[in-house]
Amino acid sequence: MSLPRRNRRNVYINDVHYHWVKGSRGDNGRGVVTIQLAAGDGSKLMVDPYGRIRDDEIPDAIRFALSAGWQPSDAGPPFWIGFADHVAPTSCFALRTAKDPPYWTEFVTEDNAADDGG
């Protein structure tokens, strides 16, 4: 099933056309990003953000997921990755599942928490 047209965006990675949308809320209330082949079939990529994911980071999310084993043309359950923009020195992605506890806790250090006022 294709992603809704409203707020749907396009991105090309290695000449493959993908659609993506930022959700208004996800399983964590922050707006999971959903990515899928533009044809509307295959497995979806779900990006669970901790912080704000910028539009220009979506291609990096797709590349990370592909390198981690996401097969967008194969039918199956969604492939989940996490995203954190609070990790020094730059943003990062991590594998996760829909049932995992918040993945970003493994990235939060005393230094990061102090930087965030925590």
Whole-model pTM: value is 0.75
Exposure of 53 by Cβ count < 10 A (0-12 exposed, 13-18 middle, 19+ buried)?
buried
pLDDT of 82 > 80? The answer is yes
Is residue 42 situated within a structural domain? yes
Is residue 15 situated within a structural domain? yes
* E strands in the chain: 9-13, 16-22, 33-37, 45-50, 79-84, 92-95
Is residue 106 situated within a structural domain? yes
**Residue 53 is part of which domain span?**
9-115
Is residue 102 situated within a structural domain? yes
pLDDT of 51 > 80? The answer is no
Is residue 84 situated within a structural domain? yes
Mean pLDDT (the chain, rounded): 77
Is residue 1 situated within a structural domain? no
Is residue 25 situated within a structural domain? yes
* Distance of alpha carbon 78 from alpha carbon 19, whole angstroms: 15
Helix (H) or strand (E) segment spanning residue 62: helix 58-67
Token pair belonging to 48: 């669970």
Query: Which pLDDT value is given to residue 118?
Result: 43
Is residue 2 situated within a structural domain? no
Q: What does the pLDDT look like over 11-35, one tens digit per residue?
A: 999 999 999 998 755 444 557 899 9
The total domain count for the chain is 1
